[in-house]
Amino acid sequence: MRIIIVDDEMLARGVVREYLSEHADVEVVAECANGFEAVKAITELSPDLVFLDIQMPKLDGFEVAELAGSKTRYIFATAFDQYAIKAFEFHALDYLLKPFSQQRFDQALAHARANMGKNDGAIEQMVREATGRNKPLGRVLIRDGAKVHVINADKIEHVEAQDDYVQIRSEGKSYLKNQRMTELEEQLDPEQFLRIHRSWIVNIAFVDRIEQATKDSYVAILKDASRVPISRSGYQKIRAVIQ
Amino acid sequence: MQEISSTRQGLITYLLVWLFLGCALGGVISVASGTPLVNALLFAIPMNLVYAFESGYSAYYLCRAYPLGSRRAASITLVLSVAALVSGFLWLLIGSLWNSLCLLPGVSWAGIAFTSQLSLLLVGLGTLLYGFAAALHYLVIEFVRAKGAEQRELESLLMAQEAELRMLRTQIDPHFLFNSLNSISALTSQDPKAARRMTLELASFFRQSLGMEAHKKVTLGEEMVLIRHFLAIEQVRFGERLQVVELMGEGAAECLVPPMIIQPLVENAVKHGICNMPEGGTITISAHRAGSILNIRVANPVDEDMSSLRSEGHGIGLTNVRQRLSGAYKHEAGIQWGRHENSFGVDITMPAQTSEQGE
């Protein structure tokens, strides 16, 4: 079994390594000290199991699981994150409370091993809830292959729906994220972002002016001169904030 | 009356006032009716001393039964007026009895002529004095109550301070505790000596923080000892990622500060600063004394990607420190915090005291 250990504390990684040495069939393929490394390693090495700490710099455990996907099995660990513990309990996920014993660790490992390959969508659901907890979203995370882009919400100019994806425009670049438009709309700050069309969200700060396109349709002209269509209900919304 | 007679000094003062009133009354009787002064005084002084107790106790119980503010002013006035009038007539009765008693032996220096004018004077004066006694009692009762309230307020303030510190102690981040225990668990097999050092640091940290009392200020030096224990523990966890620089100006370490006022700031600096940086950074703790002012600053680097979003926790701890500072120094102390580019700093300004003043 191929395992990746993710924890920002060296000593904490040491404990896991030590406990794993009791299991002959286990191979530690990578050790990661932060979320970015973890997403990269999980994407590139596709391990069977990831031992994942929740409290980490840059990206926390939830975000790593969200970005790296649920193809692999996770054992989460936390010292005292009440929210996380509740979430693990609720979704019946394998987790460990630090500090943990060899017995407790072996139990979690055996459970993960027995359920290898099963995916009931619990992790997707949990990470979605965890993202929703941080409303309004201050930054949007996008995985591009093994690389993670962190986009500050203030710098998002507009978002366009494209089937199951959303295309996010920021600082002259476009990013594709696997997310539904409505979900992203709910997570963004409603004071800052307006859904002016079924498939468009704009950042109010980047709207330069509104122009009439045809007899009864309008278009928003953004600061970079790009044009975003406005629906009838969207026009009501944007007129309320822009004169 | 209880309040007045509870101290000897109060009782003596009260009786002296009545003695003086008795002399005055005797003087007036003597002048007005041409009675010899001795006869007049022999009549007036005992009369007044008796009245001191009669009106005193009667008015006291009435004042107790009808405390100010609990009933309508009109009903209190009515009750007191009736009581004063009754008391005035009672005094007249006592007066005439006493005078008859004085006349009995038939000596020239005792007894006075009891005119209707004198009767009127006695009733009027008795009513008036009763009114004064009542007013005096209301004053005394209010005074005692105000003093009691002040005392209670002071006690509750002390209790609140104590409770606050207790809360701060228990607020010692559970993350800190469990992560430290996890580090010890790791060290027991990897480096047993380091594990022992860590348990000793933890013990010192908790022993010192649990031994602190809310109203007893500590020197900045002592507070720094606590902080060093705290940082030593965190350094085991974070290793090279956590660097600390201490800049202590001359005379700063001797200044008194409320206990555990800097420690939460350092804890925040680790939790919201270092903890979020993969490469770690340096926490700077500086203190300078400038005359009668003590400046303390705690600064830490923050991750550039970190929006204000995840630093919400900062607010609660800082507000708590601000409240404790204003509780201890009123407007003389201040705290400011802010982020400047990739650095977060908290500045405290407080009076530089080296001894507990007025406490």
Q: Which CATH number characterizes residue A42's domain?
A: 3.40.50.2300
Do A145 and A105 fall within a single domain?
A: no
In 3D space, the residue among A190, A197, A205, A198 whose CA is nearest the CA of residue A235 turns out to be A197
Residues β-bridged to residue B131: none
Dihedral (CA of A155, A56, B245, B216) sign: positive
Structure tokens at A156: 């998002």
Which residues of B fall within a CB distance of 8 Å from A34? 278
Query: How far, in Å, are A29, A34, A104, B269, B294 from residue A21 at the CA level?
Result: 13, 23, 15, 36, 54
* Cβ of residue B305 closer than 8 Å to a chain A Cβ: yes
Q: Least CA distance to B186: which residue of chain A?
A: A15
**Domain tally, chain A:** 2
Do B33 and B85 fall within a single domain?
A: yes
Which residues of A fall within a CB distance of 8 Å from B276? 57-58
Do B313 and B222 fall within a single domain?
A: yes
Structure tokens at B137: 């009692």
Query: Is B358 a member of any domain?
Result: no
Do A19 and A122 fall within a single domain?
A: yes
B69: phi > 0 → left, psi -120 to 50 → alpha, else beta; which?
A: left
Interface probe for A, chosen from B171, B179, B312 (most Cβ of A below 10 Å), is B179
Q: Is the pLDDT of residue A170 over 50?
A: yes
Q: Inter-chain contact B275–A57, Cβ cutoff 8 Å?
A: yes
Identify the residue whose tokens are 């009133």.
Answer: B21
Q: Is A192 helix (H, G, I), strand (E, B) or coil?
A: coil
- CA–CA dist A122, A87 (Å, integer): 10
Please give the pLDDT value at position B311: 47
Interface ipTM above 0.85: no
Q: Inter-chain contact B307–A139, Cβ cutoff 8 Å?
A: yes
Ranges of H-type helices in A69-219? 82-90, 102-114, 122-133, 181-187
Do A234 and A199 fall within a single domain?
A: yes
In 3D space, the residue among B331, B251, B248 whose CA is nearest the CA of residue B296 turns out to be B248
- Domain stop point among B114, B129, B159: B159
**Domain tally, chain B:** 2
Query: Is B231 a member of any domain?
Result: yes
Q: Within the 268-287 window of chain B, which residues sit less than 8 Å (CB to CB) from chain A?
A: 275-278
* Long-range pairs of B328-337 with CB within 8 A, sequence gap ≥ 24: B328/B217, B328/B258
Which amino acid, B178? F
Please give the pLDDT value at position B112: 81
Do B179 and B317 fall within a single domain?
A: yes
- CA–CA dist A216, A214 (Å, integer): 6
- Condensed to tens digits (0 to 9), the pLDDT of residues A129-151 reads 888 787 788 889 999 888 899 89
- CATH for A156: 2.40.50.1020
Do A159 and A128 fall within a single domain?
A: no
Average pLDDT, chain A: 90
Do A53 and A88 fall within a single domain?
A: yes
Q: Inter-chain contact A79–B175, Cβ cutoff 8 Å?
A: yes
Please give the pLDDT value at position B307: 56
Query: Is B68 a member of any domain?
Result: yes
Low-confidence ranges of chain B (pLDDT < 50): 308-311, 358-359
Query: Is B292 a member of any domain?
Result: yes
Q: Inter-chain contact B236–A80, Cβ cutoff 8 Å?
A: no
Structure tokens at B295: 């400046």
- Domain stop point among A132, A156, A175: A132
Do A37 and A76 fall within a single domain?
A: yes
Query: Is B164 a member of any domain?
Result: no
Do B180 and B312 fall within a single domain?
A: yes
Which residues of B fall within a CB distance of 8 Å from A153? 307
Domain hosting A179: range is: 138-241
Please give the pLDDT value at position B169: 59
Q: Inter-chain contact A99–B185, Cβ cutoff 8 Å?
A: yes
* Cβ of residue B310 closer than 8 Å to a chain A Cβ: yes
Are B22 and B48 contacting, i.e. CB atoms less than 8 angstroms apart?
A: yes
- CA–CA dist A70, A73 (Å, integer): 7
- Domain stop point among A99, A132, A165: A132
- Condensed to tens digits (0 to 9), the pLDDT of residues B90-116 reads 888 888 888 888 888 877 777 787 788
Do A191 and A151 fall within a single domain?
A: yes
Which residues of A fall within a CB distance of 8 Å from B177? 80
Q: Inter-chain contact A98–B182, Cβ cutoff 8 Å?
A: yes
- Domain stop point among B159, B182, B208: B159
Do B150 and B18 fall within a single domain?
A: yes
Q: Is B107 helix (H, G, I), strand (E, B) or coil?
A: coil
Do B55 and B97 fall within a single domain?
A: yes
Do A24 and A113 fall within a single domain?
A: yes
Q: Is B125 exposed, middle or buried (0-12, 13-18, 19+ CB in 10 A)?
A: buried
Domain hosting B23: range is: 2-159
- Domain stop point among A83, A101, A132: A132
Which amino acid, B279? E
- DSSP states along B170-233: HTS-HHHHHHHHHHHHHHHHH-HHHHHHHHHHHHHHHHHHHT--TTS-EEHHHHHHHHHHHHHH
Which residues of A fall within a CB distance of 8 Å from B178? 79-80, 97-99
Query: Is B345 a member of any domain?
Result: yes
Which residues of A fall within a CB distance of 8 Å from B308? 138
- CATH for B251: 3.30.565.10
Q: What is the mean pLDDT of residues A55-69?
A: 90
Interface probe for A, chosen from B305, B308, B310, B311 (most Cβ of A below 10 Å), is B305
Q: Inter-chain contact A98–B179, Cβ cutoff 8 Å?
A: yes
Q: Which helix (H) or strand (E) holds B246?
A: strand B242-248
In 3D space, the residue among B35, B13, B15 whose CA is nearest the CA of residue B26 turns out to be B35
Strands (DSSP E) contained in A63-216 are 73-78, 95-97, 139-144, 147-152, 156-162, 165-170, 173-177, 193-197, 200-203, 207-214
Q: In Å, how far is A183's CA from the nearest CA of chain B?
A: 19
Q: Is B74 helix (H, G, I), strand (E, B) or coil?
A: helix
A96: phi > 0 → left, psi -120 to 50 → alpha, else beta; which?
A: beta
Are A125 and A135 contacting, i.e. CB atoms less than 8 angstroms apart?
A: no
* Cβ density class B241-266: b for 16+ within 10 Å, e for less: bbebeeeeeeebeebbbbbbbbbbbb
Interface probe for B, chosen from A11, A36, A102 (most Cβ of B below 10 Å), is A11
In 3D space, the residue among B284, B281, B332, B276 whose CA is nearest the CA of residue B305 turns out to be B276
Nearest to A58 among B179, B303, B309 (CB): B303
Dihedral (CA of A173, A176, A177, A181) sign: positive
Do A206 and A122 fall within a single domain?
A: no
Query: Is B338 a member of any domain?
Result: yes
Nearest to B190 among A14, A134, A153 (CB): A14
Structure tokens at A15: 């404990």
- Domain stop point among B139, B159, B179: B159
Interface probe for A, chosen from B171, B173, B175, B182 (most Cβ of A below 10 Å), is B182
Do A121 and A36 fall within a single domain?
A: yes
Query: Is B165 a member of any domain?
Result: no
Do A105 and A88 fall within a single domain?
A: yes
Please give the pLDDT value at position B157: 79
Are A139 and A151 contacting, i.e. CB atoms less than 8 angstroms apart?
A: yes
Dihedral (CA of A60, A110, A101, B185) sign: negative
